[in-house]
Amino acid sequence: MKPIQVTQSSMPNFNDYIEEIRDLWDSRWLTNMGVKHNQLEKELSHYLNTPYVNLFTNGHLALECAIAAFNLKGEVITTPFTFVSTTHAIVRNGLKPVFCDINLDNYNIDTSKLESLITDKTSAIIPVHVYGNICNVEEIDRIAKKYDLKVIYDAAHAFGVTVDGVGVGNFGDASMFSFHATKVFNTIEGGAVTFRNSNLKETLNSIKNFGIKGRETIEYVSGNAKMNEFQAAMGLCNLRHVEDEINKRKLVVNRYKERLSNIKGIRLLQLQKGVKSNFAYFPVVFDGYKMNRDEIAESLAIKNIFARKYFYPLTNSLDCYEQKYDVDLTPVAKFVSQNVLTLPLYADLSLDDVDLICDTVLGT
Ligand SMILES: *Cc1c(COP(=O)(O)O)cnc(C)c1O
């Protein structure tokens, strides 16, 4: 049997992509804010329903540049229950991550524990919309205003998610999206920062291009994080069918839910009120189940089915951080990380395969 991976990249029809890149052979303009790049920014601004979109070569550098744009100092409050990128982006900007625990309802930062972590060194909050679930944005906004903190969301999982019709990229001072091959919408590698303050546009354009401002003015010491035309062309093609992809994902998620709901010891994500989901991930937390997470991952792997321990380990326990942080200060994150398994999910996953996965999880 062909292996079932945790995800499978969404791709356009081959000929559609060839058509999209054909004119690049005439223009010979391959990167540096070309026609495709600018068109994709415009179309994404429409799709994400947010005033400004700035494209990047990947999501990680988008986040690093967004953090750099606010010229933050000192400490940043964030979550350890995320992909390593979030924490690395903070550290690589010379900032100290301070880890806040998560809640058990949606695995996002627990806003009731946030305020006690604020010190006179805190300059920002960098929460993550984990699995595309929306953080408690109102409470985060209230706290940020009270202590004069910036808020930058890692919205890498939340492409196309809306709350009461509002695009998720409108919250906080800025949000980062990832368009990596494994995400709901991809540009092969790619990413974006969305924001509402128009001043940020020029700053980000400069930061992602070596700090160049004018022909002879270099404003920042900065690297290169520009999206090229072939990436943008992939994005333009994929954007045309992303709604179909999300609808197909929804069918897969519904089948998983039919099979795995109301089982003792299995905890599933609940849909949030007013939220239009993108069905990006299907995480299952085993809490007092007859098998533990590792045993289930193993019994799937025997059948060539590859689920992922996502997120494990927590970023506050990574080897590279040399035990600088105490995972016991984030006990809920520790528990979830030790017991979560993200099951395979992509638009073309067949319902028969979902059944096979569920049979294995249920041990039937
Ligand atoms: C994918 C991801 C990133 C990094 O994005 P890339 O496009 O892979 O660089 C950052 N944060 C989270 C939560 C992610 O899932």
The encoded tokens of residue 269 equal 């994500």
pTM of full prediction above 0.85: yes
By DSSP bridging, strand 162-163 and strand 217-218 are unpaired
Residue 170 lies in a domain: yes
Instruction: Indicate whether residue 86 lines ligand 1 (CB < 6 A).
Output: yes
More confident residue, 2 or 46: 46
Residue 309 lies in a domain: yes
Atom of ligand 1 nearest to the CA of 59: 7
Confidence of residue 230 (pLDDT cuts 50, 70, 90): very high
Residues 227 and 315 in one domain: no
Annotated catalytic residue, options 183, 208, 226, 334:
183
Instruction: Indicate whether residue 136 lines ligand 1 (CB < 6 A).
Output: no
Q: Answer yes or no: are the C-beta atoms of 176 and 193 closer than 8 Å.
A: yes
247 C-alpha vs ligand 1 centroid, how far in Å? 23
Q: Whose CA is nearest to atom 6 of ligand 1?
A: 59
Residue-number span of the structural domain to which 322 is assigned: 242-362
89 C-alpha vs ligand 1 centroid, how far in Å? 10
Residues 215 and 66 in one domain: yes
Atom of ligand 1 nearest to the CA of 190: 7
- Beta pairing partners, 152: 174
Residues 229 and 81 in one domain: yes
Among residues 351, 230, 31, the alpha carbon closest in space to that of 238 is found at 230
The encoded tokens of residue 292 equal 């533990």
Residues 51 and 181 in one domain: yes
Residue 342 lies in a domain: yes
Q: Answer yes or no: are the C-beta atoms of 79 and 216 closer than 8 Å.
A: no
Instruction: Indicate whether residue 175 lines ligand 1 (CB < 6 A).
Output: no
pLDDT given at position 171: 98
pLDDT given at position 202: 96
Eight-class DSSP state of 186: -
| Distance of alpha carbon 294 from alpha carbon 143, whole angstroms | 38
Residue 8 lies in a domain: no
Instruction: Count the neighbouring beta carbons within 10 Å of the beta carbon of residue 261.
Output: 9
Instruction: Indicate whether residue 178 lines ligand 1 (CB < 6 A).
Output: yes
Atom of ligand 1 nearest to the CA of 157: 15
Percent of the chain with pLDDT over 70: 100
Residues 73 and 183 in one domain: yes
pLDDT given at position 126: 98
Number of domains in the chain: 2
Residue 63 lies in a domain: yes
Residues 125 and 204 in one domain: yes
Please say if 183 is a catalytic residue: yes
Query: What is the biggest distance separating any 2 CA atoms in the chain, rounded to whole angstroms?
Result: 69
pLDDT given at position 2: 87
Residues 162 and 293 in one domain: no
User: Of the candidates 205, 239, 273, which is a domain's last residue?
Assistant: 239
Residue type, 125: I
User: Of the candidates 218, 239, 260, which is a domain's last residue?
Assistant: 239
Confidence of residue 323 (pLDDT cuts 50, 70, 90): confident
| Distance of alpha carbon 178 from alpha carbon 142, whole angstroms | 26
**Helix (H, G, I), strand (E, B), or coil: what is residue 277?**
coil
pLDDT tens per residue, range 31-40? 999 999 999 9
Mutate to test the pocket of ligand 1, among 154, 184, 345 (most ligand atoms within 8 A of CB): 154
pLDDT tens per residue, range 10-63? 999 999 999 999 999 999 999 999 999 999 999 999 999 999 999 999 999 999
Mutate to test the pocket of ligand 1, among 6, 7, 9, 60 (most ligand atoms within 8 A of CB): 60
Residue 3 lies in a domain: no
Residues 189 and 207 in one domain: yes
| Distance of alpha carbon 87 from alpha carbon 196, whole angstroms | 24
pLDDT of residue 306 exceeding 80, the answer is: yes
Residue 191 lies in a domain: yes
Q: Whose CA is nearest to atom 2 of ligand 1?
A: 156
By DSSP bridging, strand 150-154 and strand 122-126 are parallel
Residues 91 and 196 in one domain: yes
Atom of ligand 1 nearest to the CA of 89: 10
Q: Whose CA is nearest to atom 13 of ligand 1?
A: 83
177 C-alpha vs ligand 1 centroid, how far in Å? 8
pLDDT tens per residue, range 259-284? 999 999 999 999 899 999 999 999 99
Give the CATH number of the domain where residue 69 resides: 3.40.640.10
Residue 135 lies in a domain: yes
User: Of the candidates 239, 259, 292, which is a domain's last residue?
Assistant: 239
Residues 276 and 199 in one domain: no
Residues 262 and 223 in one domain: no
Instruction: Indicate whether residue 151 lines ligand 1 (CB < 6 A).
Output: no
Instruction: Indicate whether residue 246 lines ligand 1 (CB < 6 A).
Output: no
Instruction: Indicate whether residue 83 lines ligand 1 (CB < 6 A).
Output: yes
Residues 117 and 55 in one domain: yes
pLDDT given at position 175: 98
| Distance of alpha carbon 280 from alpha carbon 146, whole angstroms | 33
Give the CATH number of the domain where residue 277 resides: 3.90.1150.10
